[in-house]
Amino acid sequence: GDSVTQTEGPVTLSEGTSLTVNCSYETKQYPTLFWYVQYPGEGPQLLFKVPKANEKGSNRGFEATYNKEATSFHLQKASVQESDSAVYYCALGDSGSWQLIFGSGTQLTVMP
């Protein structure tokens, strides 16, 4: 079945440093890939999605490239801020599944 594996957390960084959260997936379909972010006390919210292979998604300085050959969708940001502290989820959706498949989540803490 479909699955998503992402960087085990937690990740602690200093402001201004770079972030990479690894995400890999398995599916026999042609998925849309998502990154969701969840702040404390809130529901997850979409950061961005990429429906097509070899395309890049981005929002608020975060970006990820849908790499079909490597089955990866790593999240990157060049310079993190304290306000980026949250849990980040990689997710997969396709026409063969009736639910989004979430990764385990990566807790990011950014120190001032």
Contact segment (CB under 8 A) with another protein among 11-19, 63-71, 77-85, 88-96 equals: 88-96
Q: Which of 25, 44, 66, 110 binds another protein (CB under 8 A)?
A: 44
Complex with another protein: residue 2 or 67, whichever CB lies closer? 2
Report whether 109 contacts 89 (CB < 8 A). Answer: no
Verify binding: residue 11, another protein, rule CB under 8 A: no
* Shortest Å, Cβ 86 to another protein: 13
Which DSSP letter does residue 98 get?
A: S
Verify binding: residue 94, another protein, rule CB under 8 A: yes
Angle formed at CA 111 by CA 107 and CA 112, multiple of 5 degrees: 150
Separation of alpha carbons 57 and 52, rounded Å:
10
